[in-house]
Amino acid sequence: MSDMLDVRGSWLSEDDLESARERLPIVYIDAVPVRTDDRGQVTSVGLLLRGMPDGSISRAVVTGRVLYGERIRDALLRHLEKDLGPMALPQVPVSPQPFTIVEYFPDPDVTGFHDPRQHAVALAFVVAIEGDCAPSQDALDLVWVTPHEATRADFQSEMTGGQGRLVRMALAHCGLLP
């Protein structure tokens, strides 16, 4: 993708990132990967197994920072490819619209969305995936589950930091009220 941002010069050093996290909200994207049938109905939800900011191992959606100068669409594509592999074939609209905005706080009691490192504002999207996925980078595993399975209490207990609530919100947005 020739129009993609050259991210090499856009990363903050670890010290600079830590300093920024102490002073500013950081912009993120959250993407709930789904598979759909030929009518566009969600048939399964893709959830990663990864190490979380609080040190736990948890099921999670695709998430990541938006870089300075990066369009939201490009951030979505970059993080989906990074976590799901280059053959995932995400169907991101030309002008993506989030289904909600999530605020993560170091204090889990503020919104129920928790990131112990920072105050983060995440634009949340549901993204249909059409290709083959293979977890990569920080993702340890990827599992596809039915919407019903994703909302079961035992499966929800495998998600921390509000990720389970975010998945339920995404499914409600798609007309699949848990």
Q: Is residue 15 part of a domain?
A: no
Within a domain: 17? no
pLDDT of residue 178: 54
What pLDDT, on the 0 to 100 scale, is given for residue 154?
93
Domain of residue 161: give its range.
24-173
What pLDDT is attached to residue 8?
Answer: 53
Tell me the CATH number at 129. Answer: 3.90.79.10
pLDDT at 110: 96
- Does a structural domain hold residue 105? yes
What total number of domains does the chain contain? 1
Is 8 a domain residue? Answer: no
Structural domain contains residue 6: no
Alpha-carbon distances of 23 from 11, 39, 123, 147, rounded to whole Å:
17, 46, 20, 38
- Residue 149 inside a domain? The answer is yes
pLDDT at site 6: 52
Residue 101 lies in a domain: yes
| Per-residue model confidence as pLDDT tens digits over 130-142 | 999 998 877 889 9
**Which tens digit of pLDDT belongs to each residue from 41-52?**
999 999 999 887
In 3D space, the residue among 74, 72, 59 whose CA is nearest the CA of residue 101 turns out to be 72
Is residue 138 assigned to a domain? yes
pLDDT tens digits, residue range 108-121? 999 999 999 999 99
Torsion angles phi and psi, residue 95, rounded to 5 = -125, 85
Task: Extract the residue ranges of the chain whose pLDDT is less than 70.
Answer: 1-11, 54, 178
